[in-house]
Amino acid sequence: MGPAEVQEGDDAGEVVPPWLDHHQKELDAGALFVLKSKGSWLHCGYHLTTSIVGPALLSLPYAFTFLGWGGGIICLVVGALVTFYSYNLISLVLEHHAQMGNRHLRFRDMAHDIMGPRWGKFYVGPIQFMVCYGAVVACTLLGGECSKTIYLLSKPDGTTKLYEFIIIFGCLMLVLAQVPSFHSLRHINMVSLVLSLLYSACATGGSIYIGLSSEGTEKDYSLAGDTPTRIFGFFNAIAIIATTYGNGIIPEIQATLAPPVKGKMFKGLCMCYAVVVVTYFSVAISGYWAFGNQAEGLLLSNFLVDGKALVPKWFILMTNMFAILQLSAVGVVYLQPTNEVLEKTFADPMCTQFSVRNVIPRLISRSISIIVATTLAAMLPFFGDINSLFGAFGFLPLDFVLPVIFYNLTFKPSRRSSIFWLNITIAVVFSTVAVIAAVAAVRQIALDADTYQLFANL
């Protein structure tokens, strides 16, 4: 049995249609086994929603504390419009090259062909790997923090440390990481979509309940700090919002679509952004309304004040459980670029995907990948500060700047056209924002450095 015979379906014995056979024989093991091209637009919508709508959206009220009502809502709307536009541009570029007989399955492949081999090898590839693996570490850390919150609800004086909960969550990730291909995650990501709606509804409902109760904090919407603090806070908040809208794996998601791909990604994006609008705006507005400039980096932390629950404990437990389960799906989605590289390096495309020759290296390499991510999360519980830097250096270029550059270089619109200058404006503005946001993130790391401690029990 040749490699082409295992492309279709999750089962090793399903046969590929003849019109796909020639294309698949040319694929490396990473593309052949991890980026299986057999999904529908609905599956694409599940993948997109999981990769964008994650528990990081619970930090949006905190971003509003640096922006205020007007600035916060404007940045939220601009982020939605620009990323939807940018992701659609990437999809159009991918569709164009696919119609020309050169289908790109990876972000670095796009950069290699459109901008040159050095861009793909030394910039886009490393940046994408950094932000995606950083997202895996962040999900593992946040999963441990949510697990600890549940523990402290039932045992306020408990002595179990944060890093122990991170390890427990890492064990769940260790199991899910063995799911063989990106396409195989479609059902998990469908559940993830539902979970994102559930914990967002809980976060919104809890915020409104506390905001209306006498136990809620006094609402203060003023911007705290001196002028330099406000300026750096403004750009730090932009980095937070950019990270929540961040994706960084649009080509890999589109690679899971069965040919022909035309129009399918746009349908998936519409489905995804319907969920984005419902969840992002409801959580951000209700959370900032309820807590003002006292909103925490994770909104659920505001539901507990000095160990006292402001909403029923079962409600906090349920909300955290929804978040934990969805975090595991988000983490596994962002593990796919790493899995693809590992598969390309260690697997043999001339053997079947589920042969002993390929299963053992896959099991070992993916397990090591999760163990490393879990160790980093346990060692660096202050990883949120570092992740802001990743957002500035990674998500802003990948999701705001490169898509418009790819479009202009591929379709070469007239310099007199509005789309050319719109794309140039987006590239210049968000490149500038990325640089300033990176400086703001480095400043925040320097300010918090005194509190950093390996394996800290935060």
CA distance 24 to 4: 6
The average pLDDT across 344-370 equals 92
Band the pLDDT of 442: cuts 50, 70, 90.
confident
Contact 430, 405 (CB under 8 A): no
**Does the structure show a pLDDT above 80 at 448?**
no
Q: Average pLDDT over the chain, rounded to whole?
A: 87
pLDDT digits (tens, 9 = 90+) for 342-354: 999 998 888 888 8
Specify the pairing of strand 304-305 against strand 308-309.
antiparallel
For residues 397 and 14, the model is more confident at 397
pLDDT at residue 348 in the model? 87
Lowest-confidence range among 3-12, 109-118, 160-169? 3-12
**451 vs 255, more confident:** 255
CA 7 centroid distance within chain: 26
Residue scoring higher pLDDT (16 or 34): 34
Q: Are 385 and 441 a contacting pair, CB within 8 Å?
A: yes
- State pLDDT tens for residues 263-292: 899 999 999 999 999 999 999 999 999 999
Q: At how many degrees (to 10) do helices 162-176 and 313-334 cross? A: 50
Q: Write down the pLDDT at residue 383.
A: 60
- pLDDT tens profile 238-260: 888 888 998 889 999 999 998 88
What confidence score (pLDDT) does residue 395 get?
A: 84
Q: How many residues does the chain have?
A: 458
Q: Given this model, what pLDDT does residue 22 score? A: 38
In the numeric block, the tokens 């990481």 are attached to 177
Is 29 within 8 Å of 343 (Cβ atoms)? yes
For the cut 70, the answer to whether the pLDDT of residue 231 exceeds it is yes
pLDDT at 176 over 70: yes
pLDDT confidence band for 222 (50 / 70 / 90): confident
**Residue 384: band (very low, low, confident or very high) from pLDDT cuts 50, 70, 90:** low
- Residue 358's alpha-carbon distances to 28, 37, 68, 343, 379, in angstroms, are 13, 20, 53, 8, 32
The two three-digit tokens of residue 46, written as one number? 């599940």
Does residue 2 have a pLDDT over 50? no
Percent of the chain with pLDDT over 70: 91
Cis ω on the peptide bond leading into residue 260 (within 30° of 0)? Answer: yes
pTM above 0.85, yes or no: yes
Which residue matches tokens 């119609």?
Answer: 99
In the predicted model, is pLDDT for residue 435 greater than 60?
yes
- Give residue 3's pLDDT: 37
Average pLDDT over residues 91-119: 90
Mean pLDDT for the stretch of residues 171-175 = 95
The reported pLDDT for the residue numbered 455 is 67
Tell me whether residue 123 is exposed, middle or buried, using C-beta atoms within 10 angstroms of its C-beta: 0 to 12, 13 to 18, 19 or more.
Answer: middle
CA atoms of 369 and 376, how far apart (whole Å):
11
Produce one character per residue of 414-444: b if its CB has 16 or more CB atoms within 10 Å, e if not. eeeeeebeebeebbeebeebbebbbebbebb
Residue 25, pLDDT above cutoff 60: no
Please state the φ and ψ torsions of residue 305, each to the nearest 5 degrees. -125, 115
User: In CATH, what is the architecture of 3-451?
Assistant: Orthogonal Bundle (1.10)
The residue ranking higher by pLDDT, 384 or 337, is 337
Judged by average pLDDT, the poorest of 67-81, 234-248, 421-435 is 234-248
User: Does 15 score more than 60 pLDDT?
Assistant: no
- Work out the pLDDT band at 8, boundaries 50, 70, 90: very low
